[in-house]
Amino acid sequence: MIKKLLLLFCVATCFKATAQPTLTLATSGPFADIHKYYTSTLMPGPGPSGANQTWDFTTTIDTGAPAPGQYGGYITCPTAVSYCDTFVGSTFGSTTQGLFQYQYYKTTPTTVSLNGFYRTGAFVKFTDPEDIFHFPMHYNDNFNDTFAAHYSGGGHDYLENGRIYDTADAWGTLKLPNGTFANVLRVKRVEVLRDSDLMDVNGGSGYIRTSYTWYSTARHEYLLQIYLPQIVNGFPTGGSLIKFTDQLPTGISNFNNTITGITLSPNPAKENLNITFNDVLNEQVNISLVDMMGKVIMQANCASGVKQYHVNTSGIPSGVYFMHFKTSQGNAVSKVEIL
C-alpha cells in the first residue's frame, strides 16, 4: 500500500513538474508593461517540435552587441498611445521607445487581433483584423484566420490580403542567455499574403512569412522569437531575425546599469515619487522622466551629496514611464508607473 501511495505521489509530482502549459488572455494577452528586446547576431534554427523538448540557446544566440537592446511594450488604449482613436475598437497599443511605430490590438476573452499599425507616416487599417491568438491554446492546438488591410503611400493605394496559420507545435524547457524557462509553449506561425498596388496589373507581390515563438504563462510577452527568411514571389529573401526579451522589473533594472543603490517609492506613484540615493554620490545626478514614445516629460539635476529627491507626479498623465539617471560614473534606468 505504501509503495502504491509513493508511486502515485511520484506520478502526480512528476506530472506537475512537466505540466503542459495553456495560454490564456490572462497569461499571454497584451498587458501594460515594459520589456527589453535583444536582437541576436547569431542565427540558429528553431529546433525540434514535439512534446517535452529542451531547446538550449544559451551559446547559440547573443544580445546583439554592441547595440544591447531596446525598450518596448504594450500600453492601454486610448489615452496612452498615439493615434489609438484612429484604429476604432483597439484596446492596446505597442511600440518601441523612441521609434514612431505603433501597432494596435483588439482583445476579447478568446482572441487577440491585430487591428492596424502606424509606421513612417502611413496608417495601415485592417478591414478584416488578423487574429494572432485564439484562447485557450494548448499543445497541438491550431487555428487559421483571414485578414485584409488597406493603406496609402507615395500617391498609391495598396491592398493586403492573406491568411494566418498558427499551430502550437511544441512544449518544453527553453534555455536562453538570461535564464531557463520550464513549461513553455512554442507556436509556429505561417502568414501567406499578397500585397498589391491597386494600379498594378501584375497583381502585386506574394509573401510567405514563417516564425516560431516561445511563450511562458508567467510572462505576457514572448520569451524568444525566430523569423525564418521571408519567401517573396517564390524565392527566399533576406536572413533570419531572432529576438528575445527580458522583463523590466519595477525599480532599478539590471540592464547595463553602471550606477546602483537607487530606490523609488511609492511605485506606482499617485501624487509624489521619492527617489532615494542609498549610496551617497559625490557628483551631480541628471534625472529624466521619459514616456514610451521617447518624449522627455521632466528633467532635474540633483546636487552632489543629496540623499533624496521628490518628484510631484500629480500633473503627469497616468501610464508607464522610464526614469533615467546619468552621471559621469555611468547610467541607470527604472520603470515607473504613475496612477
Tell me, letter by letter, the H, E, C secondary structure of the chain: CHHHHHHHHHHHHHHHHCCCCCECHHHHCCCEEEEEEEECCCCCCCCCCEEEEEEECCCCCCCCCCCCCEEEEEEECCCCCCCHHHCCCCCEEEEECCCCEEEEEEECCCEEEEEEEEECCEEEEEEEEEEEEECCECCCCEEEEEEEEEEEECCEEEEEEEEEEEEEEEEEEEEECCEEEEEEEEEEEEEEEEEEECCCCCCCEEEEEEEEEEECCCCCCCCEEEECCEEECCEEECCCEEEEEEECCEEECCCCCCCCCEEEECCCECCEEEEEECCCCCCCEEEEEECCCCCEEEEEEECCCCCEEEEECCCCCCEEEEEEEEECCEEEEEEEEEC
Taking only the tens place, the pLDDT of each residue in 55-104 is: 999 998 887 755 455 767 777 776 555 678 888 888 888 876 656 678 99
Question: pTM to 2 decimals?
Answer: 0.73
Q: What is the pLDDT of residue 1?
A: 42
Give mean pLDDT in consecutive 10-residue pieces for the chain, a chain of 339 residues: 37 50 88 76 93 95 66 67 80 72 90 90 91 96 96 80 97 93 97 78 80 91 93 89 70 43 84 83 82 75 86 85 77 77
